[in-house]
Amino acid sequence: MNRVVHPIEQESFRRLRARLDTSHFAPLSRAVVERVVHSAADLEYADDLVLDEGELTKAHAALHAGAPVVVDVEMVAAGITRRETVCRLKDAVSGPGLTRSAHAVRLAYEQVGPGALWVIGNAPTALEELLTLDAAPVLVIGLPVGFVGAVESKAALRESGLPAVSNVSEKGGSAVASAALNALLYTPLSSPASPSEEKQ
């Protein structure tokens, strides 16, 4: 895909790299780390993120082959500007022991089936619900934010063995979750590269 990178973004990544050495990361891991750090202006994400290059490589190929992308909230969808996403939060209802976010995950899975990329940046209960389903995701970007349930849900994601991008702390949110997906989306299929090496 041809993506024109604005000079302000180019300068922002230049300054990021002047303050943070990401050269030891493998290509797709570096792209994800840098874009997440950039989206939050938070260098600590470089040590907080948990990801695997092999899993990212498979997810990258699936994404560029057209695998569906499911998000937990519209704020995540708004950050993913070059791919249609599925968000069923507007159709969801809460019930005893079930949040709207969890119900939305159920509805989305009924719609897309296995093999999707899931991007969860807001609700820990959405991530928890996903882990109860036999969703067979290509990748789960699990970066919900908050003091209640966020750390625990991300730890459960890592323990599940599913291919994932997560982080250890309470930090997270819609912007960083969409940034992680965008890193894979913006990296050309032919030659994974860091954001500065994207074709203009």
Cite the active site residues: 38
Residues whose CB is less than 8 angstroms from the CB of residue 124 and which lie 6 or more positions away in sequence, other chains included: 144, 146, 148, 149, 150, 152, 153
Q: State the Cα–Cα distance between residues 109 and 24, nearest whole angstrom.
A: 36
**CA atoms within 13 A of residue 154's CA, in its CB half-sphere:** 29
End-to-end alpha-carbon separation of the chain, Å?
9
Q: State the Cα–Cα distance between residues 45 and 160, nearest whole angstrom.
A: 22
Cβ neighbours of 189 (radius 10 Å): 12
In one letter, which amino acid is 84?
E
Find how far residue 197's CA is from the centre of its chain: 21
**Angle of helix 53-64 versus helix 27-40 axis, rounded to 10:** 80
